[in-house]
């Protein structure tokens, strides 16, 4: 689904990885977000980006990028909601812990999630999932 204007939403890690790999559509999307009010990510995505670094240069780039983002921390409410989501979908859908935490963050913030991996989140009630490109 193509989006003309991006509204405030949580950005999933997969989109940030696409940007780091030089995917034009991801770069344009992220640029639109930055111009329109900023990029919002979960601390989980920040940690996933950090874990993917292979050298000091990449780590410096991630640090610089994160300074330009609003990074939402985990809270007690997010943790409890993520636990409930895991309980509901780990067996039936193979939901992974990072995805449950990211989904719970979006739900608690009351914002949609932008992701290319819509199937990771599609089963979660009341979570607006948007594939931006």
Instruction: Look at the chain and report how many structural domains it folds into.
Output: 1
Domain presence at residue 133 = no
Indicate the DSSP class of residue 38.
-
Domain presence at residue 4 = no
Residues 128-133: what's their mean pLDDT? 94
Residues 40-63: what's their mean pLDDT? 96
| Phi and psi, residue 102, nearest 5° | -65, -45
Domain presence at residue 52 = yes
pLDDT at 1 over 50: no
Give me the helices (H) in the chain, please. Answer: 13-20, 24-35, 43-51, 56-67, 76-93, 97-109
For residue 88, give both structure tokens.
């509901």
Domain presence at residue 102 = yes
* pLDDT band with cut points at 50, 70 and 90 for residue 6: low
Q: Identify the pLDDT of residue 124.
A: 98
| Phi and psi, residue 52, nearest 5° | -80, -5
Domain presence at residue 130 = no
Q: Identify the pLDDT of residue 111.
A: 95
Domain presence at residue 2 = no
Mean pLDDT value across the chain? 93
Domain hosting residue 34, numbered range: 10-124
Domain presence at residue 57 = yes
Q: How many CA atoms, within 13 angstroms, populate the side-chain half-sphere of residue 9?
A: 23
- Tens digit of each residue's pLDDT (9 = 90 or more) over 65-123: 999 999 999 999 999 999 999 999 999 999 999 999 999 999 999 999 999 999 999 99
Residues 2-15: what's their mean pLDDT? 76
User: In the beta sheet, which residues pair with residue 41?
Assistant: 71
CATH number at residue 32: 3.40.50.1010
pLDDT at 29 over 60: yes
| pTM given for the model | 0.90
Domain presence at residue 82 = yes
Q: Identify the pLDDT of residue 99.
A: 97
């Amino acid at each position: 689904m193509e989006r003309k204007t991006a509204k405030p939403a949580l950005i999933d890690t997969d989109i940030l990885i696409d940007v780091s790999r030089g995917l034009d559509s991801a770069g344009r999307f992220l640029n639109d977000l930055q111009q329109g009010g900023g990029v919002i990510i979960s601390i989980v995505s920040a940690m996933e980006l950090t874990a993917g670094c292979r050298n000091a240069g990449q780590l410096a780039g991630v640090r610089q990028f994160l300074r330009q983002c609003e990074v939402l921390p985990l809270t007690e409410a997010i943790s409890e909601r993520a636990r409930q989501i895991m309980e509901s979908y780990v067996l039936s859908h193979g939901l992974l812990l990072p995805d449950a935490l990211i989904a719970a963050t979006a739900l608690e913030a009351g914002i949609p999630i932008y992701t290319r991996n819509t199937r990771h989140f599609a089963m979660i009630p009341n979570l607006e999932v948007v594939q931006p490109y």
